[in-house]
């Protein structure tokens, strides 16, 4: 089977997430990166393209040019990965969707609700797929958790505890990553809530299949002069009566990338932590706690389908990310055959993206109203 | 040095916490249990007394009788432990305080605010000591955490995450313990917030030395028909600008007694879990995470003073509880010598108890007002 | 029920293990310490006695005097705890056994095989009980492990991995504890193998109920000039075909008191670590790993019988040690009634002590023969 | 930079390790798989080739044909991965080496010492590189551990504890993987010692840079009728005076792929476990234990050089494996430029392979001599 021809917008030298997308796209051998608008600086775009083995005539200086010229080639890209800062998601995504090119976009959806709505319209108007890399949903044990909840292993859900704690912004920020992620013009109005809070919410909703009905948020900017939040505390109310809490922080020393989810129902509870992703704790009420391992005796079909190695061979962040790309490849090939791939049920897309945008807006609105309840 | 003569109110056969108090009182050999009003059923009171080696004439049928007769004996009790359900704390405490007998009382302070205020008046009017067994403050690494915060190892505090999760009330309740702890007449208006939420708050405040300025609470009674809360989510605001979250639950399957505290400042963070109490995680910002162990290389004077064995010999719940009793003994001996023991700074008493009562009341008020901010 | 009158030999000021024995004897309120030969220095013996509330006329200057005079008193001690260095175990034990006074002796049995044999003869000639504080057998989850093995939960045993690692002798030794424990005249010919290796072996044999048939040992004294081993590596062969390894070390930086046991059979495996003693990992082959907790859903009758609190309230070293004393009390009371207490099946005594002595001797013999197989 | 043209011998459908090699080769985009002799069954070879996107004329029926024809093509493969069962390593490796094609070979080196010696001769006679995928050396924290040992952070090494435990062969074996791995004709005379014991030894030697001087081994075949060992216990003596133990097992229920290394010197100790590979515990003697994380504050240059993502983004088995391939690419490009890549110091090759073969032979010899010391 021929590899899917992939382009990339953003992700030039020194970019973090662009390199992650490229590895994720390579792991299963389903994509070939053949074109790029890797930087808004033309020279850097060319250099980055050369380093990545992109032909010189397909290392574009702008996404507009890339969209136009690739759409015109018989061997043009079939899909594009968008890995720019948040404020630069909507425009390229729309440009490629309008040309029928599938889009794999980094999260959050956009920097502003206006951009989000424009993008939503483009997605709805296009036959092409739009996928959002809420990559934590790609972890095998996260998919198993979702499957277990759906199977009723936890009974009726009551309590959802989710948190995403980091410490890299504990002090006033420097460096490329820190700069754009704390600049409202590029990152959007949300700081930690947009960068990691959306991941936390998405993970909770992906696993529980609950919808968020209301939140009460208390946002903080602990570092003096920081224009966006760097810590947030929220109460959550879900459809069906479950309640929850969400904490996200970029100022919690000792936390690197501590995304953790705990879900409790009237029949059992589960716990999962991103930094130790091959484990899923499961306690059926009244029985001993079990440590389910990816590939082990308690692993489900959902986990197996998202795994590449037997149990005991730790898979990590890149493999989870690659599961989004693998799903994208399956969905794209199905779409090319005029079909809808079942894996799309597992892949975050526009809905997840809009939910994230509404979450950001609601959190800000609630916090400004002294943590009043707000429907997202 | 002669042992301190101790009496006990409550704690007859089948009681949980009474047995804990007795072990705690024995561990360091500072007390002799010589009198008791162990049960409101006279026959059971006698039987329980006999089992505990209490002389028949000092196994009383009521605390009133015990207070009167012990106060009249030349060898009467010097201190009394009150281990009855919450609604039966105030009356005996007042009776003994009025007779100059030191009181060691289980938490929360009382079942109602009215009882609390009456008790407060009695404490203030008495020369006798009043101590409250917020026993988790007795753990060596909790005391070290407090010392580290005070020493500035964490810098200015920003975020406090505290939780206390259990699962024993996941289903409709049966059994003596469950019954009184979910009966408002005996436990007070708070369910989980009184039984364990007060412990969580007390732990957070003990370690951080912050005062709680406001809370926004969302309480739930997940088990149908349960008249008190069995799960609670709260946002917290502390004096000095720190913010926090508190979760307490008795319906979280897989959690036995999972009291955990995490505190983050601008220079470092700490994490502690009651079920693994000999460990304290400490991360100075920008340095590797350290696992401090009770008795190990990173243990402080505060931890050493509360320890009985070298590192690697796990000490647990009973030893932590015994540290309250050991402190009580030191404070009582000092009081008998007309002095004030320095250890009183570490021992929870009326202030902690009133803070707990205000916390319960505020949480209920806030929750009824849809999680509005309320000052406790 | 009246408390059992207890004496103590050794355990004066600054002693570590004497204080542990005293706490263990107090926790359940079964003993009263009423006499002592606490130090070989008469003045220190008196001072220590006074500190412990022992009457002046029962704070003896020598164990010989104590044995003679206590045996002559109508209210003389019923039992004695011997907590002296190893070379001082046999003589006092024999003196008390000959007078029908029950003996609770610290481990290892003695410093030399000659002493051990003399002691064995005295035990056999006496009606009094002789118990040895291989205290790790007192942990609830250790007793559960033994029960599970006996119940066949692991199937036929194949592999036993046991280790006991410390780091406190990493450098040349100073301090009272280090001095006698590395002095062959007082500790015996074994260093780490006697002090902690015997604990490791005892734990393995207690849980598995296997007998050690042969060992091949490679002993080291890593610290220059140290006259006894401070690290030992052994291959083990047990009756019935199981094989094992034993590692003990006092020079392994980062290990405080890391006694760990893993046992594997053809139907399952268990793992236990002394520093986290409330947990027992159990994997039935082909099923998910389970974390059994003391007092939790998977706790057995054996664990419950050795517990004082519900699950989630960590019990530790002192409670495990106290279980030896509690068993001793039960056995003594039964003996006084002319019966044999069932708990004696769980209590280490002469057999365990002789097994330890043979283990030490065999390890030294094997190591001198270049790790040849030696039957202990 | 053009990708390196890679061929593969073995690794057809249903193969485990072939798929791993292919992912490892893809992760960094340094290789293109363009040819294969994927199966000894011609039809399966073609099918597997087609699935992998290998041109039909380069999907060979035998390695001999592949070696001959690829060597003759101007665009022939530059390197070949050999992922067949052990007895089929030497012949293809020799065939490609003789044609100047670089070889990346799975471990252990071969099934027999004769094969190993023939291969060694071929390696020495060839200008091409020979690399062996002792992939655990590719983990970032393993490389950091080696760097720390070399830097003297542990002082003079004393004790090495290494183990590799699995449970998948607990019962009589079925399935393709189990069959060849327990068949002496295909796997060699060693069972667990060859399949995983060699990994354990290699890891220990890689980190410590010590040479194994002698071992005393006790091998077992616990499953009746199994012709090779499934469990092994060994004492180790290293050059310079360090001593160690090695345990490998395929019959230890509850262990998936539990490779663990602990190294202790007179100044500190480290601990690492393959299933949680992003962590390295480090205790400088007399200081608190530190949890070093890949990408965290304590990560070294060696770890950073082997990492693709920041701390907190777990990297796993495939990334570690990919580090071998990344190093291979660097070494091949350097060789093509007439240079020697520095990374070769980190890459296992013939020496590691021969050490493994001698280890297997010595272990068998020792065990047959009742665990006598044998020099490998």
CATH number of the structural domain spanning residue A186: 3.30.360.10
C285: closest CA of chain D, how far (Å): 5
In this structure, the answer to whether residues A49 and A159 fall within a common structural domain is no
Question: Are the Cβ atoms of D291 and B287 closer than 8 angstroms?
Answer: no
**Mean pLDDT on A125-132:** 98
HEC profile for chain C? CCCEEEEEECCCCCCCHHHHHHHHHHHCCCEEEEEEECCCCHHHHHHHHHHCCCCHHHECCCHHHHHHHHHHCCCCCCEEEECCCHHHCHHHHHHHHCCCCEEEECCCCCCCHHHHHHHHHHHHHCCCCEEECCHHHHCHHHHHHHHHHHCCCCCCEEEEEEEEECCCCCCCCCCHHHHHHCCHHHHCCCCHHHHHHHHHHHHHHHHHCCCEEEEEEEEECCCCCCCCCCEEEEEEEEHHHCEEEEEEECCCCCCCCEEEEEEEECCEEEEEECCCCCEEEEEECCCCEEEEECCCCCCCHHHHHCCCCCCCCCCCHHHHHHHHHHHHHHHHHHHHCCCCCHHHHHCCEHHHHHHHHHHHHHHHHHHHCCCCCECC
C187: closest CA of chain D, how far (Å): 24
Which of B132, B200, B137, B209 shows the shortest CA–CA distance to B163? Answer: B200
Number of domains comprising chain B: 2
End residue of a domain, out of A95, A128, A161? A128
Residue C173 has pLDDT above 80, yes or no: no
- Residue B290, domain member (yes or no): yes
In this structure, the answer to whether residues C157 and C102 fall within a common structural domain is no
Residue B18 has pLDDT above 90, yes or no: yes
- pLDDT class of A185 with cuts at 50, 70, 90: confident
In this structure, the answer to whether residues B287 and B208 fall within a common structural domain is yes
pLDDT at residue number B143:
98
Which H/E stretch holds residue D311?
A: none
- pLDDT string in tens for chain D (376-residue length): 789 999 999 998 777 899 999 999 999 999 999 999 999 888 888 899 999 999 999 999 999 999 999 999 999 999 999 999 999 999 999 999 999 999 999 999 999 999 999 999 999 999 999 999 999 999 999 999 999 999 999 999 999 999 999 999 999 977 877 888 888 888 889 999 999 999 999 999 999 999 999 999 999 999 999 999 999 999 999 999 999 999 999 999 999 999 999 999 999 999 999 999 999 999 999 999 999 999 999 999 999 999 999 999 999 999 999 999 999 999 999 999 999 999 999 999 999 999 999 999 999 999 999 999 999 9
Q: Could you tell me if D203 and D261 are in contact, meaning their C-beta atoms sit under 8 angstroms apart?
A: yes
In this structure, the answer to whether residues B141 and B285 fall within a common structural domain is yes
Q: Which of C19, C258, C314 is closest, CB to CB, to B316? A: C314
Q: Chain C interface, mutation test: which of B248, B257, B314, most C Cβ atoms within 10 Å? A: B314
In this structure, the answer to whether residues B21 and B146 fall within a common structural domain is no
Q: How far apart are CA D348 and CA C356, in angstroms?
A: 44
Phi, psi (5° rounding) for residue A272?
A: -145, 140
- Residue B106, domain member (yes or no): yes
**Mean pLDDT on B64-74:** 97
Question: Are the Cβ atoms of B293 and D288 closer than 8 angstroms?
Answer: yes
pLDDT at residue number B118:
98
Question: Are the Cβ atoms of B291 and D289 closer than 8 angstroms?
Answer: yes
CA D254 centroid distance within chain? 23
Instruction: Note down the domain range covering C204.
Output: 137-309+355-368
**Mean pLDDT on C245-259:** 98
- pLDDT class of C182 with cuts at 50, 70, 90: confident
In this structure, the answer to whether residues C299 and C202 fall within a common structural domain is yes
* C to D CB pairs, distance under 8 Å: 128
A328: closest CA of chain D, how far (Å): 18
A101: closest CA of chain D, how far (Å): 24
Q: Which of A166, A276, A315 is closest, CB to CB, to D317? A: A315
Q: How far apart are CA C51 and CA D125, in angstroms?
A: 81
Question: Are the Cβ atoms of B290 and D286 closer than 8 angstroms?
Answer: no
C375: closest CA of chain B, how far (Å): 32
- Residue A318, domain member (yes or no): no
Closest-CA residue of D relative to A258 is: D312
pLDDT at residue number C157:
98
Q: How far apart are CA B162 and CA C345, in angstroms?
A: 44
List chains adjacent to chain D, taking adjacency as at least 3 C-beta pairs closer than 8 Å.
A, B, C
In this structure, the answer to whether residues C362 and C223 fall within a common structural domain is yes
Question: Are the Cβ atoms of A297 and C286 closer than 8 angstroms?
Answer: yes
- Residue B344, domain member (yes or no): no
The pair of structure tokens assigned to B318 is 């009973």
Q: Taking CB atoms and an 8 Å cutoff, what residues of chain B touch C295? A: 256
Question: Are the Cβ atoms of B313 and C317 closer than 8 angstroms?
Answer: yes
Residue A369 has pLDDT above 80, yes or no: yes
Question: Are the Cβ atoms of A220 and B158 closer than 8 angstroms?
Answer: yes
Q: Chain B interface, mutation test: which of D288, D296, D298, most B Cβ atoms within 10 Å? A: D288
- pLDDT class of B266 with cuts at 50, 70, 90: very high
**Mean pLDDT on C202-216:** 98
Q: Which of D19, D53, D255 is closest, CB to CB, to A1? A: D53
Segment among A286-300, C141-155, D173-187 with least mean pLDDT:
D173-187
Give the tens place of pLDDT for each residue, C53-112: 999 999 999 999 999 999 999 999 999 999 999 999 999 999 999 999 999 999 999 999
- pLDDT class of A301 with cuts at 50, 70, 90: very high
Q: Chain A interface, mutation test: which of D55, D313, D321, most A Cβ atoms within 10 Å? A: D313
- Tell me the CATH number at D9: 3.40.50.720
Q: Taking CB atoms and an 8 Å cutoff, what residues of chain A touch D141? A: none
Residues 6+ apart with CB under 8 A from B351: none
Mean pLDDT of chain A, nearest integer: 96
Question: Are the Cβ atoms of D16 and A278 closer than 8 angstroms?
Answer: no
DSSP A154: T
Q: Chain A interface, mutation test: which of C288, C293, C294, C297, most A Cβ atoms within 10 Å? A: C288
C371: closest CA of chain B, how far (Å): 31
In this structure, the answer to whether residues A75 and A15 fall within a common structural domain is yes
Q: Taking CB atoms and an 8 Å cutoff, what residues of chain B touch A235? A: 216, 218, 233, 235, 371
**Mean pLDDT on B255-283:** 98
Give the tens place of pLDDT for each residue, B70-110: 999 999 999 999 999 999 999 999 999 999 999 999 999 99
Residue C163 has pLDDT above 80, yes or no: yes
Q: Chain C interface, mutation test: which of A271, A284, A289, most C Cβ atoms within 10 Å? A: A289
Q: Taking CB atoms and an 8 Å cutoff, what residues of chain B touch D292? A: 288
Q: Taking CB atoms and an 8 Å cutoff, what residues of chain D touch B296? A: 288-289
Q: Which residues of C touch B (CB under 8 A)?
A: 1-3, 16, 19-20, 22-23, 26-29, 51-53, 166, 255-258, 274-278, 293, 295-296, 308-319
End residue of a domain, out of D102, D128, D154? D128
Q: Which of C3, C311, C318 is closest, CB to CB, to B315? A: C318
pLDDT at residue number C13:
80
In this structure, the answer to whether residues D258 and D363 fall within a common structural domain is yes
Give the tens place of pLDDT for each residue, B40-63: 888 888 899 999 999 999 999 999
Residues 6+ apart with CB under 8 A from B5: B31, B32, B34, B35, B75, B76, B77, B78, B79
Q: Which of D222, D234, D281 is closest, CB to CB, to C158? A: D222
* A to D CB pairs, distance under 8 Å: 112
pLDDT at residue number C180:
84
- Residue A63, domain member (yes or no): yes
pLDDT at residue number A179:
84
- pLDDT class of B16 with cuts at 50, 70, 90: confident
Give the tens place of pLDDT for each residue, A145-183: 999 999 999 999 999 999 999 999 999 977 877 888 888
Mark residue B204 as left, alpha or beta (left: phi above 0; alpha: psi -120 to 50; beta: remaining).
Answer: alpha
- Residue C278, domain member (yes or no): yes
List chains adjacent to chain A, taking adjacency as at least 3 C-beta pairs closer than 8 Å.
B, C, D
Question: Are the Cβ atoms of A297 and C291 closer than 8 angstroms?
Answer: no
In this structure, the answer to whether residues A275 and A162 fall within a common structural domain is yes
Q: Which of A233, A235, A281 is closest, CB to CB, to B243? A: A233
- Residue C238, domain member (yes or no): yes
pLDDT at residue number C187:
86
Mean pLDDT of chain B, nearest integer: 96
In this structure, the answer to whether residues A147 and A262 fall within a common structural domain is yes
- Residue A180, domain member (yes or no): yes
Q: Which of B256, B311, B315 is closest, CB to CB, to C312? A: B256
- pLDDT class of B178 with cuts at 50, 70, 90: confident
Question: Are the Cβ atoms of A16 and D310 closer than 8 angstroms?
Answer: yes
Question: Are the Cβ atoms of A314 and D275 closer than 8 angstroms?
Answer: yes
A93: closest CA of chain B, how far (Å): 38
Q: pTM, whole model, 2 decimals?
A: 0.97
pLDDT at residue number C241:
97
Question: Are the Cβ atoms of C266 and D171 closer than 8 angstroms?
Answer: yes
Give the tens place of pLDDT for each residue, B107-133: 999 999 999 999 999 999 999 999 999
In this structure, the answer to whether residues D146 and D54 fall within a common structural domain is no
Question: Are the Cβ atoms of B314 and C19 closer than 8 angstroms?
Answer: no
Q: Taking CB atoms and an 8 Å cutoff, what residues of chain B touch D296? A: 288-289
- pLDDT class of A63 with cuts at 50, 70, 90: very high
B145: closest CA of chain D, how far (Å): 15
End residue of a domain, out of B128, B162, B186? B128
D137: closest CA of chain A, how far (Å): 14
Closest-CA residue of D relative to C283 is: D254
């Amino acid at each position: 089977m021929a590899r899917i021809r992939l382009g990339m917008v953003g992700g030039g030298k020194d970019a973090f997430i662009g390199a992650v997308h490229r590895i994720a796209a390579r792991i299963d051998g389903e994509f070939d990166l053949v074109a790029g608008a890797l930087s808004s600086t033309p020279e850097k775009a060319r250099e980055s393209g050369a380093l990545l083995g992109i032909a010189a005539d397909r290392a574009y200086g702008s996404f507009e040019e890339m969209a136009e010229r690739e759409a015109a080639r018989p061997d043009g890209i079939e899909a594009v990965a968008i890995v720019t800062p948040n404020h630069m998601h909507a425009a390229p995504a729309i440009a490629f969707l309008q040309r029928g090119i599938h889009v794999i976009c980094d999260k959050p959806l956009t920097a502003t609700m206006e951009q989000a709505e424009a993008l939503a319209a483009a997605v709805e108007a296009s036959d092409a797929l739009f996928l959002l890399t809420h990559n934590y949903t790609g972890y095998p044990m996260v998919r198993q958790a979702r499957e277990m909840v759906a199977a009723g292993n936890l009974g009726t859900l009551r309590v959802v505890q989710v948190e995403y704690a980091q410490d890299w912004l504990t002090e006033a920020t420097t460096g490329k990553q820190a700069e754009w992620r704390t600049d409202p013009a590029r990152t959007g109005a949300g700081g930690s809530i947009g960068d990691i809070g959306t991941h936390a919410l998405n993970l909770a909703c992906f696993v529980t299949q609950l919808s968020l009905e209301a939140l009460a948020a208390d946002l903080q900017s602990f570092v003096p002069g920081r224009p966006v939040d760097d810590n947030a505390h929220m109460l959550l109310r879900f459809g069906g009566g479950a309640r929850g809490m969400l904490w996200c922080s970029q100022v919690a020393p000792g936390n690197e990338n501590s995304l953790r989810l705990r879900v409790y129902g009237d029949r059992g509870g589960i716990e999962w932590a991103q930094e130790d992703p091959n484990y899923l704790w499961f306690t059926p009420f009244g029985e001993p706690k079990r440590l389910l391992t990816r590939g082990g005796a308690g692993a489900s079909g959902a986990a197996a389908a998202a795994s590449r190695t037997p149990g005991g061979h730790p898979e990590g962040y890149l493999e989870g990310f690659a599961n989004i790309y693998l799903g994208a490849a399956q969905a794209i090939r199905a779409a090319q055959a005029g079909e809808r791939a079942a894996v799309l049920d597992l892949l975050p897309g526009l809905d997840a993206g809009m939910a994230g945008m509404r979450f950001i807006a609601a959190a800000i609105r609630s916090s400004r109203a002294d943590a009043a309840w707000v429907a997202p």
